[in-house]
Structure 1
Amino acid sequence: MRILVTGGAGFIGSHFVRQLTTGAYPEYDDAEVIVLDRFTYAGNEANLAPVAGSSRLRVVRGDICDTAVVDTVMPGTDLVVHFAAESHVDRSIAGAAEFVRTNVQGTHTLLQAAADHGASRFVHVSTDEVYGSIEHGSWPEDHPLRPNSLYAASKASSDLVALAFHRTHDLPVCVTRCSNNYGPYQNPEKAIPLFVTNLLTGHPVPLYGDGRNVRDWLHVDDHCRALALVAAEGTPGEIYNIGGGTELTNRDLVSRLLELLDAGPEMVEQVADRKAHDRRYSVDCTKIRTELGYAPRVPFEQGLADTVRWYADHRDWWEPLRPQPAGGAGSLTEVSC
């Protein structure tokens, strides 16, 4: 069996690859794994270093928008797990062209190649942000898409293209929509690693607006285990929400990190709110729970403490990746949450 993992050097993709190649998903123990990654700011060779010596792993440097490159790795592929995407909301506000190119055009290139070469399964990894914002309750998979950020709009577009390939070309596509991920190897421009690395280096934590935006937190290991379930048992043409079951305001999240790092409230810096900042995300995970038996296993308190410890112990990994200080008081104000 051959599995193609796009964006396999990124945060979530590399976790999936490390798990694949070390026996975490027994149904894929004998699979050959090909990583296709452009190695932009989000793709890091160090993320794959723990499994770089695996005889089952091949890494290809290339762009998912490049038809020639995709056509070299797709033949013989049984399963595509598509992580590759531009995903940083603040970057999409500054300029959305690359988001449309990678997330929409790149997804189309992969889907077309998968259909042409007869791939037997395509898992398209998306986000809960495509639903927009919800004040009460949780989104089921059939909720209308109402993305507010340009990033979310590009992902919603790619979701629709993927599902259209299933209906038009009978390509066995499943779409997953996850809540906010956290864990080791996450780029320090994202919320939790940015907050943690700021505190570890004596910088204040930037908190958007009133800090009362709510997110559901999902450990990367639970997310990847759910993806393996969808890949093995998901129904083609279906969408599966994947959540962690821990909803927190950003202010509550920061309070927990301050406590874990023995820092006081003076280390919180209020910053201007993001444009079109969604107030609350919440996905209904009934479908994946009842159909595939998924449930998150990593308690948030444990996962967060382990994540903080990982960043404290791996400064050599994140220090070269940190955003440069901007604004007053030496603060680092680029944050995605």
Structure 2
Amino acid sequence: MKAFVTGGTGYTGGALCTRLAEQGHQVRALARKTSKTDQLRDRGIEIIFGDVRDIDSLRPAMKDVDVLFHLAALYRQAGFPEHIYHDIHIKGTENMLQVALEEGVKRFIHCSTIGVLGHISNPPANEETPYNPGDIYQITKMEGEKLALRYFREKNLPVTVIRPAAIYGPGDMRMLKLFRSIAKGRFVILGSGETTYHQVYIDDLITGFLLGAEKDVAIGQIYIIGGEEYVTLNQLTTMIAHDLGVSPPKLHLPVKPFQWLGPLVESVCIPLRIEPPIHRRRVDFFTKSRAFDISRAKRDLGYQPQYDLKTGIHLTAQWYRERGYLN
């Protein structure tokens, strides 16, 4: 098939482009001119320069495309005004949907996030759990997801929504801080550590995307793609510590002061373009549970995670260790 991937220069998008190319598909990736594209080019992937916010740049990219994987997103980080999230996750998604409709794209795979469900008070949540976003990233991702489903209902665009759990694996840099702080014995748990966390190994997630593109039953549906198990933060940090050969984190601090300090520190640091040492999304990691039922993906798509959490942690830690990132 001819596949088009937005967000192809990112961690997940790059892994998806690689798998598609390895399977013999023709792969085209959207990239901004400032993005690093050498690795994608080396894999035989065609690069189209453009931006999801610029609809005119999307039309040449979607000519003769069979399957479109829309992964482009702005992940939560301090310093970006709210309208940027709106422009990328909502307006950018609408641009993608409109051009896909115009060009007759046969399948539109939209990457959302489990974050649209926010804190899971009665785990595990599933695809029918009501929306409950908790920040601007989650709110705008929710609106982008709703747009995609609306194009299916009202305009018959063959859309499938994939909601990944927390993505990790070799090459991922977002989990590095957690692994490194545990390796150095510096990780502090805020609160009880009994909130839940649900991850998905990168290879399993890519399989989920491809199954969503292949199965006709997936059209018009939402699928949560996660690992086989979710664990508490205490369990997760203990598993990482054991793999690294260090003692598990034992220090717990009350979470309330940090919940109060987060917005205050952000209000001082963000105008100065300084990354806040404490901010709300990091505190949310300790206070908001993430636990999901993946049975719909198993039933409809034949999805079956191949990497248990222990194996995934080991492979990720090994990748960090080999590159000296844990020193």
Q: Distance in 2 between matches of 1:314 and 1:70?
A: 37
| Distance change >3 Å, CA 263–CA 44, structure 1 → 2 | farther
- Pick closer, same or farther for the CA change 1:77–1:133 going to 2, 3 Å: same
Query: Match of 2:22?
Result: 22
Matched letter for residue 215 of structure 2: E
Secondary structure of the residue that 2:146 maps to in structure 1? helix
Distance change in 2, residues 1:290/1:39 (3 Å): farther
Does 2:14 match 1:5? no
Alignment match, 1:65:
53
Residue correspondence of structure 1 range 162-173 to structure 2 within 5 A: 162-173=148-159
- Which residue identity does 1:33 align to in structure 2? V
CA drift of 1:137 comes to 3.2
Match of 1:303 among 302, 312, 320: 312
| Mapping of residues 155-304 of structure 1, within 5 Å | 155-187=141-173, 190=174, 192-198=175-181, 202=184, 204-205=186-187, 207-234=189-216, 235-264=218-247, 272-273=258-259, 275=280, 277=284, 279-304=288-313
The structural deviation recorded for 1:266 is 6.7
Q: TM-score, normalising length from structure 1?
A: 0.80
The match for 1:148 among 134, 137, 146 is: 134
Structure 1 spans left out of the alignment, 5+ residues: 24-28, 320-337
1:101-140 map, 5 Å? 101-140=87-126
* Residues 35-90 of structure 1 deviation map (CA, whole Å, 9 limit, x = unaligned): 113377xx654xx72x64333x11234321111211120111111011111122x5
Q: Distance in 1 between matches of 2:122 and 2:208?
A: 25
Cα–Cα, structure 1 residues 126 and 117, in superposed 2: closer, same or farther, change >3 Å? Answer: same
Question: With structure 2 as the length reference, what TM-score do the two structures score?
Answer: 0.83
In the alignment, the residues of structure 2 paired with residue 284 and residue 310 of structure 1 have an alpha-carbon distance, to the nearest angstrom, of 29
CA distance in 2, matches of 1:128, 1:266: 27
| Change over 3 Å in CA distance of 1:109–1:250 after alignment to 2 | same
AA in 2 matched with 1:16:
L
Which consecutive residues of structure 2, in runs of 5 or more, have no partner in the other structure?
260-278
Instruction: Give the root-mean-square deviation of aligned CA atoms.
Output: 2.6
Q: Percent of counterpart pairs with the same letter?
A: 25
